[in-house]
Structure 1
């Protein structure tokens, strides 16, 4: 009887953890902050359950309450997120190295932080003329292949573009919201994103999203001089990228 009671208590505890993570993910999906009704609509949890979970998360610093009574992701997540991002870079290195070996070009891993793309890992090409995107560099997503790959699967891409203002980086940068949304549609259709000199003149890049089984949590890319990237069969390069990205995503989230 005591064993049965202990198992039931463990099941309730595990369910509470699962639901608390649902609440945190809901806040993330709403851009980092949301009201109680938005969290309920996203998670499907009762208001009372959400309120109890939020009180615990507030006490631990994983959530904070704003002056307008909405809830936001808390500072405690910054510490955990920073460590996780560094680990992600370590895990990505052998996969990026495989991409370099297969393509001969520089391979990158990037994530979306707020409205910016951040490069978290890179393995450079062994060639003398090669491309560099400094690890830790923050760029706006509209002019990069990794940014387009990350935003193509999101519902808030238009809002991101309107907030950032779409500054022109080169004469090939797309600076119209409607045109960019059409480009994201093409990214979804073909399964990869391109930067054809839109971030830096003379540099071309191809990127694909890295999925956690559902959403894209990162983007993986290869970049190089335009003449070399253009000389490669685009579909073959995309297939290579997708395979490595799928393997990496599966390795990161394997149970």
Structure 2
């Protein structure tokens, strides 16, 4: 009986340690990605000795590292974990995306913002012989894609400027926006209307309609793309409410886990 009680206590302790470790990682994120041990103690609510023990273990497994200024930051070993989780989110949304393709007849993509880039995490192709195909895992710039602009429109302006300074605004096609202010002027309009358009800015001959996925576990967007001849203004007016509805359904599904 005593052994059973001891084992139960050990299980509770192990669960608590895991919760505290993830709480500390969350505190790092809330602190902007790096913080001192004292700041982490304040944000997490954990005792100082507990913070130091957890940091030592997290550093040992590479999910936290210490900067030259003695602050702690998220480590490189979190990257494949995050990428794997993001891909899984995409697979969960495929049934809703398939329904959207059946209604609209064009390719539907789902993308996430990852390291200041767009990464495509799911696609359901159009049944047309002439269709758009985007490989899952492919990366693209935020400023030149519909999904990227839809996600940028959900960010504060200072964060958008920071992203654009970091990545630059390369001209992917002659129609790509290459001046920060030109994009910044679009973002309030995108936010107000609830959708973004990539009008041959990523690929000539291709138009894309994108909507943000609201309140998801990470910043994400949904898009439908096709040849400009089929992606008319009338198509966009018809597709926008369907896209918005599907994005909300996906958000609810992902939030429920």
Decide: shared fold, TM above 0.5: yes
Q: Deviation at 1:37?
A: 8.4
CA distance in 1, matches of 2:34, 2:172: 33
Identify the residue that residue 254 of structure 2 maps to in structure 1.
Answer: 252
Q: After the TM superposition, which of the residue ranges 229-238 and 161-170 deviates more from structure 2?
A: 229-238
Structure 1 position 114, deviation (Å)? 0.6
Q: TM-score, normalised by structure 2?
A: 0.81
- Please state if 1:130 is matched with 2:131: yes
Residue deviations 1:167-195 (CA, integer Å, cap 9, x gap): 11122211111121221222211111111
Unpaired runs of 5+ residues, structure 2, are 1-7
| RMSD of equivalent CA atoms | 3.3
Alignment of 1:88-237 (within 5 A): 88-155=89-156, 156-211=159-214, 213=215, 216-237=218-239
Q: After TM superposition, give the deviation of residue 108 of structure 1 in Å.
A: 0.5
Q: How far apart, in 2, do the equivalents of 1:19 and 1:25 lie?
A: 10
Q: Deviations over 1:184-240 (max 9, x none)?
A: 2222111111111111112111111223x3665321110011121114343432211
Aligned to 1:62: 63
CA contact (8 A) 2:34 2:74 kept: no
Counterpart contact for 1:116–1:141, Cα < 8 Å = yes
Given that 2:63 and 2:78 are in contact with CA atoms closer than 8 Å, whether structure 1 keeps it comes out as yes
Structure 2 partner of 1:85: 86
Distance in structure 1 (CA, Å) of the matches to 2:245 and 2:236: 14
Structure-2 separation of matches of 1:161 and 1:176: 9
TM-score, normalised by the number of residues in structure 1: 0.82
> Cα distance, 1:9 vs. partner?
10
- In structure 2, the residue corresponding to 1:229 is in which secondary structure? coil
Gaps of 5+ in 1: 1-6
The structure having more radius of gyration, on CA atoms, is: 2
